[in-house]
Chains A and B, each alone.
Chain A
Amino acid sequence: MTSNMQAAHTAATNAESYRRAGRIKVLVIAASFVGLLLLAGSVAITGISETSLGTLFAVVVEKLTFGAVAASVDQQQARVLLHLRLPRVVMAMIAGASLSFAGVLMQAITRNPLVSPYTIGVSSAAAFGASIAIMFGVGFSAAGLYFVPLTAFLFAFGCAILVFSMAWLRGMGGQTMILTGIALMYLFSAMTAAVQFVATQEQLARVVHWTFGSLNGIRWDAVGVAAIAMAVALPLAQLKAWQFNALTTAGDDVARSLGIDVAVLRGLAVFLSVTVSAVVISFTGVIGFVGLIGPHVARLLIGADHRYLLPFSCICGAVLLLLADTLGRIAFSPTVIPVGIVVAFVGVPVFLHLVLSRRSEYFS
């Protein structure tokens, strides 16, 4: 009798603990989102021409109310904020979120913590697309403004379709995707090298610059496209969050025995992760590592339940890229170091630390 009551007591505690942990995770996500916005605000006002949070606030309010509440601020500062700082800061957040989100999806469907969207060849395909666009493209004329990003995007997507069809032929297994992706990655890298070989000095400089992704000169239209991609992809993935849990924890056979159409889930995840990461890198160039570290940091802090992991990894990725870009802007000011380089310098030590300190379930 006593042991029965004790058992009932422990059991009640377990369900309650689970519920409480869920509520705490929601709070953590909400709080860190607010933290992200504050960080973005303070980063937006740092730089060569210093402004204040008040100025930033006034400018944002004026824009959001379509001028109804006019900002009485210095016009020069307002222009710097609106056309230089804000698009850059917002793009840093969206890019970080997109890459990290794509990393979570790719790791989930391959059940492999070392995979990122780039593992399936997206980045090198985009780099190759950008290279040939720069080589044979129409340059920076008005009509050609989108030529490089568009070509990069098409190649990234074409690569994903190749990986996808190979995997489909072999029953949509996770391993096939990784192996095909890595093979294509080498192929596109070789082709990019071949293009660089025949490039002129000026073209070569632009190609190299592109392969070290940067947020220089990001405009609002790019921000808009990337934001729309995320606004569609994140809710779609969130709907399938529980299915991702089943696939990562239990494996293909058990997931299928739980009623999940694993092939459809893999297809959706590849489509969403490739779309958001290809959109971002076609505008910014290749920014590595965020897609690998973002998911890991997020998983470390909030656990592997994708209902929380998906939104939280977006926040982690956004913070990471925001900090890296700011560091790149101010470290050797006025020289701006491309964010792709900073991320690698900051990211590799962080990642190695994770590898060495993680419990056995990773990297085993």
Chain B
Amino acid sequence: MTPCLDIQSVCFGYKTRPVLRDLSFTLDKGHILGLVGPNGAGKSTLVRIVLGLLAPGSGRVLLDGQDLRGMTPKARARRIAYVPQSAPLSFPSTVFETCLLGRTPHMGSKPAPRDLQVVENILTRLRLEDFAFRLLSELSGGERQRVMLARALVQETDILVLDEPTSALDIGNQLFTLRVLSEVVRERGATALVAIHDLSLAARFADRLLLLNKGQVEAHGEWSSTLTEASLRDVYGVNVEIGMVRDIPMFAPYENR
């Protein structure tokens, strides 16, 4: 596999508190990398560094061999798209308008017919076509999260960075959303970094997992070698029993009695 994003010994700290300590890993073409770890492990900080929104304290992030911080914002936006955990609501804007924003790095001052076409296709794909002219504020949290994903897919990048894309979704929509994401990654030969709390979904949809603990890589690889009962106890501080239901890994945390 060709590495697409190469994260090389990245460190980061706010003031004196270190958040990330000497992180190195690669994101490979056609792969989804699941980023798991407890609250405060540094997942969101890592996401922002990979997006180029935050400069690492030391180390660097290479995109096809080129330093991410040396690229123009527009060039970066053509390669990396971002799905935030939640969207701020401020002024009334429709689903179609919101998704069309994903075309920003590709268009001049106004959208071309092709831009509208891309939005249509993605809306249909995420089953949002009937919501096209509803206001964002009128949607449920889950629908809104799907709109955020739609906007990122509309951007037509080969790297997708998602921060908790399923946190507000019901189980049906969680499955549907991650299914679409993995299809898109395969089709485009793209790569995705998904920060996610649900270990079962992570194990199921990610090709590789990165278990982060206190800003350091605890384990990296296939889910079965990453999420072991020992590593989960270390990192999350609870006992976890791992079982298989219909070949799907399930994680049941329990407390010692």
Contact = CB atoms under 8 A, between A and B. Distances in A.
Interface of A: 7-8, 10-12, 14-15, 17-19, 107, 111-113, 239, 241-243, 245-246, 248-251, 253-254, 256-261, 299, 303-305, 307, 359-362, 364
B118 to A, nearest CB: 10
A1 to B, nearest CB: 15
Interface in B115-155: 116-117, 119-121, 123-124, 129-130, 132-133, 135-138, 151, 155
B89 interface: yes
With most chain A CB atoms within 10 A of its CB, the pick from B93, B96, B104 is B104
B97 A359 contact: no
A51 to B, nearest CB: 43
Given A10-B124, A12-B120, A17-B132, A257 B93 contact: no
A258 B91 contact: no
B74 interface: yes
Contacts of A253: 48, 51, 53, 82, 84
A250 B137 contact: no
Contact of B110 (A11, A242, A248, A364): A242
B53 A257 contact: yes
Given A17-B133, A245-B97, A259-B76, A11 B92 contact: no
A12 B82 CA distance: 27
Interface of B: 48, 51, 53, 72-78, 80-82, 84, 87-94, 96-98, 100-102, 104-105, 107, 109-110, 113, 116-117, 119-121, 123-124, 129-130, 132-133, 135-138, 151, 155
Contacts of B72: 259
A8 B94 CA distance: 20
A250 B117 contact: no
B90 A111 contact: yes
Nearest to B138: A359
B15 to A, nearest CB: 15
A12 to B, nearest CB: 7
B77 to A, nearest CB: 3
Q: Determine which residue in B90, B101, B117, B121 has the highest number of CB atoms from chain A within 10 A of its CB, and name it.
A: B90
A242 B104 contact: yes
A251 B121 CA distance: 25
Contacts of A303: 92-94, 97
A361 B88 CA distance: 10
Contacts of B97: 18, 245, 249, 303-305
A7 B125 CA distance: 9
Given A260-B73, A361-B137, A254 B91 contact: no
A11 B121 contact: yes
